[in-house]
């Protein structure tokens, strides 16, 4: 959890480690997912970061208490032949926590996260508290754990996306919900009146005109009956001293009351909370899911 930056400061979205150079942007090719789990009845967060560089894919696994106190972390470098499968043991919560992985047959797309042919499992007291990947049978056999459903819930995700005017990813706005195609579209070069579009499964959910005046703001729309807030900051696309990235935050809302009470256009006061504060609020109110997207424009 502590790896997530504070994105919403007094001046809007603040981006950590942003740089205009292609080298720096290529180095930002990673996806971070945060899962809320239970270890011996205590709530904790397990953070997985998939990254990609010239050497290949890497995986980092961290475990934090719900109070954001860091406990332990494991770095896995599967491009090393001997590291494509294995396990490591950690000590936390007065017990041994085993992390198992098998990436020897993993298939990757353009991003750092594997698509299929893999598993990553976290086990304690013979219970699989978190299991990712499609090789579930192999994971339970390898770990000798009890094949019962895990109560792990994906609560936050951070991702870098790249494009000229279209930025594409997938989002699952609620646990066990449908996975949607999420598209952000914005043309900023040679356009007198830039417009920001956000589409879900090809349907336009929001359209912001006069974007140079409304480069920060928030709106709310419905997906699968859920109210989803989106905050945006595209200041760097227009006014940055060098080519920077925009930041978008999607967050499920508490209730329909939130939908009707949401403000339709930018209000600097609505962006005064840090991401960490908003995350803690969503966690305490069981709001569900938060997605942070860093959108980099290709030259």
Domain residue ranges in the chain: 8-26+161-297, 31-154
Average of per-residue pLDDT across 6-35: 50
Residue 124 has a pLDDT of 92
Q: Is the per-residue pLDDT at 7 higher than 50? A: no
Q: Indicate the range of 25-34, 100-109, 148-157, 244-253 predicted with least confidence.
A: 25-34
Residue 123 has a pLDDT of 93
Q: Is the per-residue pLDDT at 81 higher than 90? A: no
Task: Name, of 103-117, 153-167, 248-262, the range with top average pLDDT.
Answer: 153-167
Residue 112 has a pLDDT of 86
Q: Is the per-residue pLDDT at 56 higher than 80? A: no
Average of per-residue pLDDT across 218-222: 92
Note the pLDDT tens digit of each residue in 170-181. 998 887 778 999
Give pTM, 2 decimals. 0.76
Note the pLDDT tens digit of each residue in 120-171. 999 999 999 999 999 999 999 999 998 877 789 899 999 999 888 999 999 9
Residue 110 has a pLDDT of 78
Q: Is the per-residue pLDDT at 277 higher than 80? A: no
Confidence of residue 11 (pLDDT cuts 50, 70, 90): very low
Average of per-residue pLDDT across 61-72: 66
DSSP string of the chain?
-TTS---EETTEE--TT--SSHHHHHTT-EEEEEEEEEETTEEEEEEEEEEEETTEEEEEEEEEETT--EEEEEEE-TTSGGGSEEEEEEEETTEEEEEEEE-TT-EE-SSSSEEES-EEEEEETTEEEEEEES-HHHHHHHHT-B------EEEEEEEEEEESSEEEEEE--STT---EEEEEEE--SS-SS--EEEEETTEEEEEE-STTT-SEEEEEEEETTEEEEEEEE-HHHHH-SS--EEEEEEEE-SSHHHHHHS-SS--GGGG-S-HHHHHHHHHHTT---EEEEEEEEP-
Residue 241 has a pLDDT of 61
Residue 151 has a pLDDT of 84
Task: Name, of 21-25, 76-80, 226-230, the range with top average pLDDT.
Answer: 226-230
Confidence of residue 73 (pLDDT cuts 50, 70, 90): low
**Which one is predicted more confidently, 55 or 10?**
55
Mean pLDDT of the chain: 76
């Amino acid at each position: 959890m502590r790896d997530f930056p504070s994105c919403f400061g007094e001046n809007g979205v603040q981006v950590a480690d942003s740089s205009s150079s292609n080298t720096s942007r290529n180095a930002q090719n990673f996806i971070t997912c945060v899962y809320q789990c239970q270890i011996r009845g205590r709530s904790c967060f397990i953070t997985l970061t998939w990254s990609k560089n010239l050497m290949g894919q890497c995986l980092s696994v961290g475990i934090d208490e719900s109070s954001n106190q860091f406990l332990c972390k494991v770095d896995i470098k599967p491009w090393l032949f001997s590291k494509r499968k294995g396990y490591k043991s950690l000590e936390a919560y007065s017990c041994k926590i085993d992390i198992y992985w098998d990436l020897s047959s993993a298939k990757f797309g353009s991003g750092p996260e594997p698509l299929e042919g893999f598993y990553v499992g976290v086990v304690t007291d013979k219970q699989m508290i978190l299991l990712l990947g499609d090789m579930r049978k192999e994971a339970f056999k390898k770990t000798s754990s009890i094949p019962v459903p895990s109560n792990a819930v994906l609560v936050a995700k951070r991702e870098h996306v790249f494009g000229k005017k279209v930025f594409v990813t997938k989002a699952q706005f609620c646990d066990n919900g449908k996975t949607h195609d999420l598209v952000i579209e914005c043309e900023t070069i040679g356009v007198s009146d830039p417009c920001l579009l956000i589409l879900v499964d090809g349907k336009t959910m929001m359209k912001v005109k006069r974007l140079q005046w409304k480069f920060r703001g928030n709106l709310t729309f419905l997906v699968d009956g859920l109210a989803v807030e989106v905050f945006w900051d595209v200041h760097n696309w227009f006014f940055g001293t060098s080519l920077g990235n925009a930041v978008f935050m999607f967050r499920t809302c508490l209730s329909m009351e939130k939908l009707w009470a949401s403000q339709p256009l930018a209000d600097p006061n609505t962006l005064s909370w840090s991401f960490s504060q908003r995350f803690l609020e969503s966690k305490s109110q069981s709001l569900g899911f938060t997605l942070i997207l860093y959108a980099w424009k290709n030259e």
